[in-house]
Amino acid sequence: MRKTLIHRGHPQLSVRRQAELLQVNRNRPTPRPRELPGDESVLRLEIDKLHLAHPYYGSRRVSKHLQAKGRVPSRGRARRLMRCMNLTAIYPKPRTSLRAPEHRVYPYLLRDLKITRPNQVWCSDITYIPMRRGFAYLVAIMDWHSRAVLGWCISNTLGADSCLEALEAARKTAGCWPEIMNTDQGCQYTSEAWTSRLKDADVKISMDGKRCWIDNVLIERLWRSLKYEDIYLREYTDLVSLVVGAGRWMSFYNHERLHQALAYKTPWQVWKANRPAVAA
Cβ neighbours for 29, distance < 8 A, ≥ 6 positions apart: 4, 5, 6, 19, 22
Q: What is the pLDDT of residues 179-229, one digit of tens each?
A: 999 998 888 899 999 999 999 999 999 998 765 656 778 888 999 999 999
What backbone phi and psi angles, to 5 degrees, belong to 105?
-110, 135
**Cβ–Cβ under 8 Å, residues 241 and 84:** no
Give the global pTM: 0.69
- Is the separation of the CB atoms in 207 and 124 below 8 Å? no
Q: Higher model confidence: residue 61 or residue 198?
A: 198
Pairing of strands 134-143, 149-155: antiparallel
CATH for 121-274 is 3.30.420.10
Q: Half-sphere exposure (CA, 13 Å, Cβ side) for 122?
A: 29
Residue 93 has pLDDT above 50, yes or no: no
| 115 — pLDDT class (breaks 50, 70, 90) | very high
User: 64 CB contacts (<8 Å, ≥6 apart)?
Assistant: none
